[in-house]
Amino acid sequence: MINKLSALLNAANISLSDQQKHQLVGYVEMLHKWNKAYNLTSVRDPEQMLVRHILDSIVVEPHLQGSRFIDVGTGPGLPGIPLAIVRPDAHFTLLDSLGKRVRFLRQVQHELKLENITPVQSRVEDFPSDPPFDGVISRAFASLNDMLSWCHHLPANNGAFYALKGVLPEDEIAALPAGFSVSKSVRLVVPQLEGERHLVIIQAD
C-alpha cells in the first residue's frame, strides 16, 4: 500500500514525509476495516480508496488559503482527514450529522494521533461559527446554492467556500445567489482517476 501510494504521489508531484504516508495508509486501513460494519463508503477496495479518497482529497491542498477549515458533511472524513495529514499546521473541524461517522472519526483521531482535527456531530445550519473559518470545504455535499445557504455563517469576512465537484457545474455557477461569486475554478488532476474533477472557490462579494 505504501508503494502504491508513493507511486500515486509521484505521479501527482506531491511530496510527503514517510510519517504522512503511513498515516494516510493507516487511515485507509481503518476505513476498510470499519466499512464492513458501518458502511462508510461505497468504495470497497483499499487500493481504489488510495485513488478515489486519498489522492482525490489532497490534490486540493495547494489551493487552500488560511489555517482554520471546516469540512461540512465530512462523512468518514473526506476530504478533511487526508488534508489534515498533509497540512499538519492547519486545523480542520470535521462536521457530520451521523453519530456512527463521528465515532469513526474520533477513533481515527485517536489511533493516528491527529492533533489538528476536531470531529463534531451537528447539522451544519445549527453549528456556531465562533471564531469563523478561513475556509468551508465540501465534497459531494450539496449543490453550490444549498452549500451557500446552509453554510453562509461559517467563513470569516475574507474566507472562502471550497466545493469539490466532478464535472464543472456550469448551471450551479450560473444560479449562485446574489452576494456570492466564483473567485476561481480549478481543474484537478488525479492520477488513475476516471472522470473530471474540479474545485470551485466561492467568496462573498
Angle between helix axes 2-11 and 18-38 (nearest 10 degrees) is: 110
CB count in 10 Å sphere of residue 114: 22
Rounded-to-integer distance, Cα 174 and Cα 75, Å: 28
The answer to the question of whether 98 is labelled as a binding residue is no
The answer to the question of whether 125 is labelled as a binding residue is yes
Helices (H), the chain: 2-11, 18-38, 46-49, 56-58, 80-86, 99-111, 144-151, 170-174
Rounded-to-integer distance, Cα 48 and Cα 53, Å: 8
The answer to the question of whether 123 is labelled as a binding residue is no
Rounded-to-integer distance, Cα 46 and Cα 25, Å: 9
Residue 81 near residue 104 (C-beta atoms within 8 A): no
The answer to the question of whether 28 is labelled as a binding residue is no
Assign 177 to helix, strand or coil: coil
Assign 41 to helix, strand or coil: coil
The answer to the question of whether 124 is labelled as a binding residue is yes
Structure letter (DSSP) for residue 61: G
Annotated binding residues for S-adenosyl-L-methionine? 73, 78, 124-125, 139
List binding-site positions.
73, 78, 124-125, 139
